[in-house]
Amino acid sequence: MDSPQAVNGMESRARWKYLDSILSTKSPYADPDYIPGEDVITFLESSRVLVIGAGGLGCEILKNLALSGFKDIHVIDMDTIDVSNLNRQFLFRQSDVGKSKAEVAAAFVESRVPGVKITPYNGKIQDKDEDYYMQFKLVICGLDSIEARRWINSTLVSMVDMEEPESLKPLIDGGTEGFKGQARVILPTVSSCIECQLSMHAPRAAVPLCTLASIPRQPQHCIEWAHIIAWDEQRKGDVLDTDDPEHITWLYKTALDRAKQFNIPGVTYSMTQGVVKNIIPAIASTNAIIAAACCNEAFKIATSCAPYLENYMLYTGDSDASGLYTYTFAAEKKDDCPVCGNLAQTIRIDPDMTLGEFIASLAERAEAQLKKPSLRTESTSLYYQAPKQLEEQTRPNLEKKMRDLLTDGEEVAVSDQALAIDFRYKLVFER
């Protein structure tokens, strides 16, 4: 695809005329010390940046960075391309289905924008260590998983060495759902981090098991029943694969039968898929807004040509009052943040609840969202998910009441293997 103009690496600057011009004059909003010109452009070109996710946001992010003057871009994604990606992940074609997202996306943007180098990694962020992350100037996330966000957030926070300003890697994070989305800028240890803001992204309340088991009322209840209860009972040994049409069809029919039994209308194949795969609606335009808002922040941070976002922008494109609105605010850093704070978080609990119940509640608490936590106090192990021996040893504690395991106000350390964080909770008794 190389043009005559781009051969021999002697790419002309004419292509970057508009960008160069904007970076060669000074905005009234720029810092008084900012000096526009060639140095800024050189610095921008030499900034190595990491993009996490090559999906709906990631495709846009790669395009945007390449057209913002970044030349050295890395991208990580562990997924392969699915046909349902094609309505928005515009670097992929029908013939790419099944291939690595990171690799296809990188190759596409490299061929479209001469002079930009994009290095793909087809795998998990957890495969990489601090040395790897240390090489980047900044990190941009376009992920749909909260867990992955929390992992990279705590990794970047733990990398900060106050003596080494270069060790602080700004993290820019985007997320979308339907017509809505958010873009946020995080300076690890300096400003509010993803963990500080966790309670703003509360998980949806789960339907109580007894509703699913005995008093379903909604089509979703019947689907969840098929998913959580019937599958395990009736298809023992089969590992559920939500991408397998046979499996989805089975769940759909099972849910439909149950719905019929209770006279509940509304179970559909599409709804079954939506519930069991936890599908979030996604469209190209929202991805475009959020990805570009994130890249705009990356551009401002890398060039200092204008102040960056402090620190959170919420975009709502489906307001029935005003059509759209944005809410831009400074999320606060929390002293008791388990990742970037130094105080234990206080949690009020009923002392008569069992340890098992407490552990279950950690999954739903907006500020914790821990699915497989292990707990210990300063003196004893309360419960460990692994290794097996320790799990067996601590399992009897699950039935015990909290008041018999702890004193009022005692501190508990909680870890979850999915996250690189130790949480500290101060448990205060309350009835």
Partner 1 sequence: MTATATTPPPIHAPTAKEKKYDRQLRLWAASGQQALEESHVLLVIAGNGDVCSGSSVAGVETLKNLVLPSIGNFTIADSAKVTEADLGINFFLTSQSLGQSRAEECKQLLEELNPDVQGHAITTPLSDLLQDPSHLRPYNLIILCAPLPQEQRRIFCEHAQQYSVSLIHVQSAGFYSSFSIQLPSVFPIVDTHPDPDSIQDLRLLSPWPELLAEAKALDDLDKLEDHDHGHVPYALILLYYLEKWKQNNEGKAPDTFKDKTQFRDMVRAAARTDNAEGGEENFDEAAAAVLKTVAPFSIKSGCREMFEKDSCKVINKDSASFWIIAAAIKSFYETHGVLPLPGSLPDMKAKSADYIKLQNIYKSKARKDVAEVAQSVRSMEKKFSRKDVILDGEIEAFCKNAAHVKVLEGSLLPQLRIENGDVQTRKTMLKELQNTETLLPILLAFENGSRSQLDDMIANNGKIDFEALNNQFAEVERVGGRELHNISSVTGGMVAQEAIKIITRQYVPVDNTCIFDGIGGTTLVLKL
Catalytic residues: 210
Phi–psi pair at 415, nearest 5 degrees: -130, 155
As given in the structure block, the two tokens for residue 126 are 């957890």
Applying the rule CB under 8 A, the residues between 69 and 88 that interact with partner 1 are 83-84, 86-88
Is residue 260 a contact point for partner 1 (CB under 8 A)? yes
Question: Closer to partner 1 at the Cβ: 84 or 346?
Answer: 84
Q: How far apart are CA 151 and CA 158, in angstroms?
A: 11
Region near partner 1 per CB under 8 A, out of 22-30, 191-199, 341-349, 418-426: 22-30
- Which of 177, 176, 181, 174 is CA-nearest to residue 326? 181
Q: How far apart are CA 69 and CA 46, in angstroms?
A: 10
Is residue 152 a contact point for partner 1 (CB under 8 A)? no
- Report helix, strand or coil for 317: strand
- Judged by CB under 8 A, which of 31, 42, 93, 201 binds partner 1? 93
- Maximum C-alpha span of the chain: 78
Question: Closer to partner 1 at the Cβ: 111 or 407?
Answer: 111
Contact string 366-405 vs partner 1 (x = CB under 8 A): ----------------------------------------
CB–CB of 291/142 below 8 Å?
yes
- Judged by CB under 8 A, which of 8, 9, 21, 204 binds partner 1? 21
| Torsion of the alpha carbons at 332, 333, 337 and 343, rounded to the nearest 10 | -120
Q: How many residues bind partner 1 (CB under 8 A)?
A: 95
Q: How far apart are CA 234 and CA 114, in angstroms?
A: 56
Region near partner 1 per CB under 8 A, out of 264-272, 330-338, 373-381, 394-402: 264-272
CB–CB of 225/264 below 8 Å?
no
Applying the rule CB under 8 A, the residues between 173 and 192 that interact with partner 1 are 178-179, 183
Q: How far apart are CA 361 and CA 375, in angstroms?
A: 13
- Which of 91, 44, 97, 113 is CA-nearest to residue 303? 44
Q: How far apart are CA 287 and CA 370, in angstroms?
A: 28
Region near partner 1 per CB under 8 A, out of 16-24, 152-160, 196-204, 398-406: 16-24
Tell the smallest beta-carbon distance from residue 239 to partner 1 (Å): 21
Tell the smallest beta-carbon distance from residue 395 to partner 1 (Å): 24
Applying the rule CB under 8 A, the residues between 312 and 351 that interact with partner 1 are 313, 317-326, 328
Tell the smallest beta-carbon distance from residue 326 to partner 1 (Å): 4
Interstrand relation of 117-122 and 72-77 (parallel, antiparallel or unpaired): parallel
CB–CB of 276/248 below 8 Å?
yes
Cα-Cα-Cα-Cα dihedral sign, residues 398, 401, 404, 405: positive
- Judged by CB under 8 A, which of 8, 32, 94, 243 binds partner 1? 94
Is residue 112 a contact point for partner 1 (CB under 8 A)? yes
Alpha carbon distances (Å) from 397 to 50, 184, 376, 381, 400: 44, 41, 11, 10, 5
Question: Closer to partner 1 at the Cβ: 30 or 159?
Answer: 30
Strand extents, DSSP E, 132-197: 138-142, 171-177, 180-186
Applying the rule CB under 8 A, the residues between 198 and 257 that interact with partner 1 are 211, 215-218, 245, 249, 252-253, 256
- Judged by CB under 8 A, which of 275, 293, 370, 427 binds partner 1? 293
- Which of 126, 105, 117 is CA-nearest to residue 48? 117
Is residue 42 a contact point for partner 1 (CB under 8 A)? no
Region near partner 1 per CB under 8 A, out of 21-29, 142-150, 154-162, 338-346: 21-29
Is residue 12 a contact point for partner 1 (CB under 8 A)? yes
- Judged by CB under 8 A, which of 104, 148, 292, 340 binds partner 1? 292
As given in the structure block, the two tokens for residue 163 are 């003596």
Region near partner 1 per CB under 8 A, out of 73-81, 89-97, 153-161, 358-366: 89-97
